[in-house]
């Protein structure tokens, strides 16, 4: 007869005797449901917040807020240096000639090791180059396109010219 019972039932039978097992099961289920309830979470949160508020009321401040307070340099009398930038006015803009010179320096010096793959040619139009100049620079670059109808890679891409 005992050979047909699962192993878990035999363990319960060995440890539970009569009413002790029922009381133990009831309290363990009640305790687990209490610990998993939202009411427990809310009451623990309110208790913690109340304890912190009470401590702050008694002692004036919290010891860990001194490190968390972000001080500003202007509190110490240090102010940032103001430079007379030519583009700082309300209707002023960047110096487009120096942006163009910076792009020329990039092409001559830094283009070998740094790329502008994520910059579109249209972003240069109106800032440092005209539309025709940007189009001429874009034609110098060859773009690899996907396969055509015959499965061959078209290089350079006719669409992106």
Residues in binding site for heme c = 113-114
| Cα angle 119-125-130, degrees, rounded to a multiple of 5 | 135
d(CA 8, CA 15): 11
The DSSP 8-state label assigned to residue 129 in this structure reads B
DSSP state of 153: B
Q: Given CA atoms 106, 110, 113, 114 in this order, what sign does their dihedral have?
A: negative
């Amino acid at each position: 007869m005992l050979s047909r019972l699962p192993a878990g039932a035999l363990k319960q039978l060995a440890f539970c005797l009569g009413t002790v097992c029922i009381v133990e099961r009831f309290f363990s289920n009640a305790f687990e449901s209490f610990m998993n309830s939202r009411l427990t979470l809310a009451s623990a949160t309110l208790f913690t917040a109340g304890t912190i508020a009470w401590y702050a009321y008694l002692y004036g401040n919290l010891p860990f807020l001194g490190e968390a307070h972000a001080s500003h340099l202007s509190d110490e009398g240090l102010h940032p240096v103001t430079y007379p930038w030519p583009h700082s006015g309300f209707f002023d803009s960047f110096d487009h000639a120096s942006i163009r010179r910076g792009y020329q320096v990039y092409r001559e010096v830094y283009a070998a090791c740094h790329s502008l793959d994520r910059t579109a040619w249209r972003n240069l139009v109106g800032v440092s180059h005209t539309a025709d100049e940007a189009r001429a620079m874009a034609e110098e670059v060859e773009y690899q396109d996907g396969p055509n109808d015959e499965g061959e890679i078209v290089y350079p891409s006719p669409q992106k010219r």
